[in-house]
Amino acid sequence: MFQLKGRLKEVKDTRQVSDKFAVREFVLTDESSQYPQHIQFQATQDRCSLLDGFQVGGEVTVNFNVRGREWTSPQGEVRYFNSLDAWRIEGADSAPAPTASDIPPAVSMGGGNDDDLPF
C-alpha cells in the first residue's frame, strides 16, 4: 500500500472496457520536490465513483497499490506495464481519525472518590 498527496490535474470519464470491466483515469500533480510530477492513476470497477465530488485543482490524498503485468508481442518481444490502482481518495479537508494522543485525559471531579457513577 502506498499513499501520495497532491492536486488533481485531470479527471477522465469512466470508460467501459468490456461488459465486466470499467476504468477511470486521473492525474495527480505531486509538488513535493523541485520539479512537479504529473502521475496518472486509475480506479477500476466500483471504485470509479471514488472521484465523484472532487474538483480539478483540489488537494487530495490517494491510497493506491502498484500493479505490474507482462505482455508478449506477436513478434515475441516481452514488455512490462505498471499501473497505480487507487482504492481510496480523501480530500484535504477530511479530518483524520483521532489517535490516543489526541484524546485529553479524564478529569477528576474531586471529593476523593474517582468512581464516575453519580450515586
93 or 95: which leads in pLDDT: 93
Compute the average pLDDT of residues 47-73.
Answer: 95
**CA-based nearest residue to 26, from 84, 73, 107:** 84
Cα 23 to Cα 33: distance, rounded to the nearest angstrom: 29
Q: Which domains does the chain have, with CATH numbers?
A: 2-93 (2.40.50.140)
41 - beta bridge partners? 26
Q: What 3-state class would DSSP assign to 115? A: coil
Q: pLDDT by residue (tens digit) across 23-58?
A: 999 999 999 999 999 999 999 999 999 999 899 999
pLDDT at 9: 97
Is 22 within 8 Å of 45 (Cβ atoms)? yes
Average pLDDT of the chain to the nearest whole number: 86
Compute the average pLDDT of residues 53-66.
Answer: 95
Phi, psi of 91 (to 5 degrees): -75, 160
Phi, psi of 50 (to 5 degrees): -55, -30
For the beta carbon of residue 6, count every other beta carbon within 10 angstroms.
19
Compute the average pLDDT of residues 9-27.
Answer: 96
